[in-house]
Structure formats: C-alpha cells, structure tokens
Amino acid sequence: MPIAHDNNIHFLFEPRSIAVIGASQEPGKIGHAVLANIRAGGYKGEIYPVNPSGGQIENLPVYKSILDVPSEIDVVSIVVPAKFVFDVVKQCADKGVKYGIIITSGFSEIGNAEEEHRITSYANDRGMRIVGPNVFGIYSATANLNATFINGRIPPGRLAMITQSGALGLTMVGQASVENIGLSAVVSVGNKSDVDEADLMGYLITHADTQVILLYIEGIRDGRKFINVLKETTRAKPVIIIKSGRSQRGAIAAASHTGSLAGSDEVFGDIARQCGALRAVSTKDAFYWSKLLADNPLPAGENTVIITNGGGAGVMATDACEKYGISLYNDVEHLRQVFSPVVPTFGSTKNPVDITGQASAGDYTKAFSAALRDDQIHAAIGIYCESALFTAETLQEAVDRNYYQFKNAGKPLVFTLFGGEKTSNYEREARRRSIPVTDDVYETVSSLGAMYAYKHYIDELPENDVAVNMDVPAIDSIIHHVISDGRSFLFAHDAQKVMDIAGIRTPKTLKASSIQTAMKCAREIGYPVAMKIISKDILHKSDAGGIALNLENDNEVIDAYGAIIRNCRAAVPTASIEGVSVSEMVATGIEMIVGARRDNIFGPIVMVGLGGIYVEVMKDITFRSYPLGRREIMKMIKEIHSYPLLLGVRGEKIHDIDAVIDTIVKVGFVILNCAGISDIEINPLVVYGQGDGSKAVDVRIILSKER
C-alpha cells in the first residue's frame, strides 16, 4: 500500500528560511546557542532572530515579533518559556510557517498534555506541523543546518539519527563524533505531539546522503503508520532501532494471553524485525552496525570464514556466529584446497581456519588473500591474538590492506583484535578510519550478523496476505446474537460455531443444563469426556473450578457436574449459570497457543507459541502484523524456542506444521474481517503428526469494546 507522506517534509530538513524565537544575547541561554550553531554551521538560507528586545545578535537584526518578519518562513525554532509557547505558535501558524520546532520543555512529559494538545491542534488546523515539544532541535547536513543546542560541530556523513530521548540523543551525537561517524541528519522528536519517526523517515527514505537510519524509540503511538513507513524505508536502506521503555500495558490484566503479552516489548521487536529493521540493544552495537552497513558492500552469499591465529578465540567466534545467524562455510575439501598452501601443517584449514600462534602479519595477508580469491567465500572474520611473532606494530599491515582489498572486491571483512595497550590504540585509531575492528568477538560478529539479517530481508520479495474463503456474515450474526445477550465474550459453543465457519477443527461439544442431559451428551460423544461451565459471568473457567477432564463413565459425569456447579457458585456467587459443555477428550499432541487481536497500537496482529497454562511464564511466543504471508508465518513458528518439539523429538514423527500455519491464517482472517471481535485465542491448539491436523481445544473469543 503506498504511503501518504508529508509532501512538505523537505522544508523541515532543507528550509529556505528559519527563525529563532527566543534568540538571546546571553551566551548561557539555549536561545543563544541555537542561533550561534545555525550561524556556525554555515546555513545558507535566511535567518531571523526574534526577541521582543530587538537589537542585533550575531550581527543579525533581531525582529521584535515573528509578525514583523517581512518574508515567508519555512521553519521556526521556539525557545521561549512554556507559558509563551501557545501565543508564539499561534502567530507562526497564522503567518503560514510550515514547521515549528518547540525546544521548550514543560508539556506532556510533566503531565501538561492539555496545553501541548492545544498548541499542536491550533498549528495543525492551520497547516503548520510541530516537532516536539521538549527537543534539542534538528541538524541537516544537506542544508548545513545545525538548529540544535548541541555543543560542538556535528561531522557530516551518512547516518541519520532520530531520537525520542533528548539527553540520550545528545550523548549519541557525541559518541558518533568520537567514533568518527558522520551524520546526515539528526532530529530530536521529544514528546512527538505531531511529527513522528514515520514522518521523518518519509524524507530520509529518498535522501541520497543518508545511507543508514538509526532510531532511538521509547514508545510508538501510531503503530500502523510506523509499520507501513518502516517497511517501505527498509527496502531502500537499513534502519537500526534502539528501543527502551517496556510498555506497562503488559502488566494490565487482560482477558486473553494474546492481550496481556501483546503490550510487551517483544511484540515491538517481532514486528520491527518483520518490517526489516535491525534491533540493537546498545548504542555501541548500533554504531558498529551503522558504520559497517554504511561503508561496506553486502555479502554476495552465505559463506563466511573465520581466520584466526588463536584456536580458542576461533571457537568463541564460531559460537558468536551461531548466535547471530552467520553460516560458516563448511565444505571441508574445498577449504583444504583454498587454505592448505597458506596454513602450516599443524594448523587447521577447517573453518575456523587456524593459521596458528606462529603466524606473522604476512601469513595473515596470505590467508586473507586466499579467501579473497575464492568465489565460494563471501565474507570473512579476522581474529588476531597479539604474540611475540605478530606484534601490534604490524597490525596495520595485516588489517588495513586486507580490509580495503576485500571491500573493493565486494566482500565484507571484520576483525576482532585481542592484545595489550598497543593493540587497543591501533583498534581505536583504525575504527576512526572506519575499519570494522573491535576488541570483542561478539561485537564483531553481531555487526556482520546485522548485515546478513538485512541482506536476507531485502533478498526476499514482500508477501501478500493469504487468500481465505470464509462466511464472514455468518460469524457477524453470531456476534450480534452474543451482543444482544449482553455478553462481551463468546460461550464455548458459540466459539465452536465460529471455528466451524473458519474451518478450524474443534473437539465435538454438546451443551447440557442438567445432570441427565450431561450424561446423555457424554454417551453420545463417547467416553472419556471433558466438562466445562457455561456462564457469562465466568471467563476464567479453571480459576473458578469450572472444568473437569477425563471423565470415564456416567458416575464420574454425575460427580463432576455437581462439583463444577458448587465450585462456580462458591467462586462467583452471583454468577448466572447456563449449564455445562460436554466435549470429547482429545488425543494428546503438542500443545500450542494461537492468538489474534486488534491491537490498540499495531492494529491486527497474530501470535503463536508454546501453549498450555504456563504461557505467560514461558513467554515462548512470537507476534506478527499484516500483511502476512505463509513464508513469514513459517518464520514466526521457527522463531519459538519450542519449534524442535514440532519437528519431533526422540523418534516422534514431525508434527502438522501446515495445520498450525492454516490456523494462524484463519484466526488472523477473522480478526481482519470481523470488526466486532477484538481477540481470539486458541489454547491449547493440539497439533498431531503431519497429515493428521490439529484441534482447537479451548477457544476464547472476546468482542471489541467499541461497537
């Protein structure tokens, strides 16, 4: 779906004119720093300082009011105290300013959301957009514009940074400068009352100077917009995300596992990955990844070799490769042919290629050159352990030349250097020259892993939703019936009807409202049976003692019926009880959970994981949003830790994974198409051997609150 970008967004990054409202003579004030930075950065457009005192600042005439500025203004930077911001924005919006960057703090971040809303609404209603409030400003290398109060010059380059946290953003700009990472743009989005990450990516996606985008996010307001723009952006360039701030929504009691787990940070991570973004846990990782992705070619294939002079370090790198999904080339015979001329007989030509502790810088170069010449090898990891034979003085010879040769040949080469002070001095200095070296194998390998993750994403064509034939009006009429009955969730027999319409198999179930009918139903279904309470006042049946399983004969049914009614009356004395459902006890299989919901932030999402009663403890689940095809659903299933159970353990045959995929497709389709339903959850979905399908044993369907 094409995205409606803000057609004016280039005016924010490349304004023809900028005004600083609250520009001050006093060097200690933010209003002074912003103006001074704009001047020092070499911005070529018109600059209008505004301050009621008038006069001159930085040799520029000061306007007493924005209304006195004779020409059109694209961007204003607002640096006046909070109580004056509305009036200032009002004047700007009335004058036709396109973007207002509100640096001022003191709005929704301290609970003053009303004033923030008043300001943004006034501006938006008049076509003016707001960045912030509570931001440090914007830097745009293309326009030589540094409208921030960052201390010092920002080096231009190819990484664009968008940050929700001002303080962390300022630190990250400083770190980028230490690492000699040039920036193409920096935007602080602060409270995101209007302009958000998605709006800004709308510009950066086609911005030629930006090669990698780094987002620091604390929370997302409009998940669908974010997902759509992120998907489009990652097709064009890598997007790295650091996200902090676990959502509290997960802690709120929700009526389904899908609901209570969906608010968690994991759902963001899963969906961001689905959209092709790379999620970094630290700023250090994020910078290493950014640098590698901005400066180096993506590998042409999957085969990576490790070249090391230390066996143990090679093993660590191997472990790291497994962790970050890097395939180590393992054609032993081919590796022998390539490396035996350059590896001593007591070394190893297997991957990791061990050139041994006696290797010198020259031996490294020979081994790298062999890897470089070979078409089967697509990427290399160099591990160096300082020794008397290979001292840090010769590192440059072993690292720099090989790195550039690999780069020119379109193969990534990354290094980990272990050693003393001289090694670490070299490492720091090489990194400043954008050579991918670290002092930790996991850091090195994680950057190559990010590169591969990105390559895998863009190598795959986007998928569409799976086509499904389903009688949606029939489901809607069940929902209407439930609504007219005054309930917000479906009884088991209603849910079973929805499953029948959706084509999801369920155990045979009958409804009984007396002991006699319960016995009759049990005989009709065939023993053993399960019995569950039917009451609109009892959603969590097992908590209320409303479930009895494995009932083998009439006597057990009689006892269980009495016990269920007693338990439920004791647990919820006011509950109106309609009777019990009697259903077939299903054969055992792997118990999965499949859920779908209309999420407040991300819209329709699906979930799959290991089912049973410990779902929220185990949290072995993954989420996806739409569009969603079968390939992505398969990926989702493979992501859960318990996936090997589906493949079969201890001689079991493989389970019916297609049946799990079909179930996800179908529950997702119901959520996408039946607006009246907010959550569907099947737990457990019992999955049998391949070809034998699955059964939805317990199905919970909850209706949308807004009707």
Measured distance between the N- and C-terminal CA atoms of the chain, rounded to whole angstroms: 27
Mark the segment that binds ligand COA (CB under 6 A) among 46-54, 281-289, 545-553, 577-585: 46-54
- Cα 215 from Cα 241, distance rounded (Å): 5
Does residue 644 belong to the site contacting ligand COA (CB under 6 A)?
no
Give the residue ranges of DSSP H helices in 25-66.
Answer: 30-40
Torsion of the alpha carbons at 203, 206, 210 and 214, rounded to the nearest 10: 60
Q: Which is nearer to ligand COA, 166 or 579 (CB)?
A: 166
Stretch that binds ligand COA, among 39-47, 102-110, 233-241, 276-284 (CB under 6 A): 102-110
In the complex with ligand COA, which residue's Cβ is closer, 22 or 449?
Answer: 22
Q: Can you tell me which of 17, 37, 77, 104 binds ligand COA, judged by CB under 6 A?
A: 104
**What backbone phi and psi angles, to 5 degrees, belong to 38?**
-60, -45
Only one of the segments 48-56, 317-325, 630-638, 645-653 lies at the binding site for ligand COA (rule: CB under 6 A); that segment is 48-56
Sequence-distant (≥ 6) Cβ neighbours of residue 102 within 8 angstroms? 78, 85, 89, 119, 130, 131, 132, 133, 134, 135, 190
Closer to ligand COA by CB, 53 or 121: give it: 53
Which one among 73, 93, 103, 640 touches ligand COA, defined by CB under 6 A?
A: 103
Cα gap 212→280, rounded to integer Å? 14
Q: Give, to the nearest 10 degrees, the angle between helix 441-459 and helix 283-295.
A: 60
Does 50 interact with ligand COA (rule: CB under 6 A)? Answer: yes
For ligand COA, which stretch binds (CB under 6 A), given 25-33, 172-180, 206-214, 552-560? Answer: 25-33
The smaller minimum CB distance to ligand COA, of residues 136 and 457, is found at 136
Q: Is 61 in the site for ligand COA (CB under 6 A)?
A: no
Cβ proximity to ligand COA: between 103 and 701 the closer is 103
Cβ-proximal residue to ligand COA, closest one: 166
| Secondary structure element (H or E) that encloses residue 681, with its range | strand 677-687
Q: Which DSSP letter does residue 464 get?
A: P
Closest by alpha carbon to 625, among 279, 227, 277? 227
Answer yes or no whether residue 24 interacts with ligand COA by CB under 6 A: yes
What is the C-alpha to C-alpha distance for residues 344 and 339, in angstroms, rounded to an integer?
Answer: 9
> Under rule CB under 6 A, which residues in 171-200 are in contact with ligand COA?
188
**Smaller CB separation from ligand COA, 20 or 320:** 20
Residue 450 buriedness (CB in 10 A; 0-12 / 13-18 / 19+): buried
Under the criterion CB under 6 A, does residue 53 sit at the interface with ligand COA? yes
Q: Give the sign of the dihedral formed by CA 481, CA 483, CA 486, CA 490.
A: positive
Which tokens belong to 258? 């899908």
- For ligand COA, what does the binding mask look like between residues 116 and 155, x meaning CB under 6 A? ------------------xxx-------------------
State how far the Cα of 494 lies from the Cα of 699, in Å rounded to an integer.
Answer: 10
Nearer to ligand COA, 29 or 520 (CB): 29
Beta-bridge partners for 215: 162, 241
**Residue 21 or 417 having the CB closest to ligand COA:** 21
CB of 28 to ligand COA, least distance (A): 9
Applying the rule CB under 6 A, the residues between 76 and 95 that interact with ligand COA are 79-82, 84, 88
Which residues does 556 contact at the CB level (< 8 Å), separation at least 6? none
Closer by beta carbon to ligand COA, 189 or else 435: 189
Contact range with ligand COA by CB under 6 A, out of 18-26, 386-394, 503-511, 687-695: 18-26
Contacts with 2 (C-beta within 8 Å, 6 or more apart), sequence order: none
Interacting residue ranges for ligand COA, rule: CB under 6 A: 21-22, 24-26, 29-31, 50-53, 79-82, 84, 88, 103-106, 134-136, 166, 188
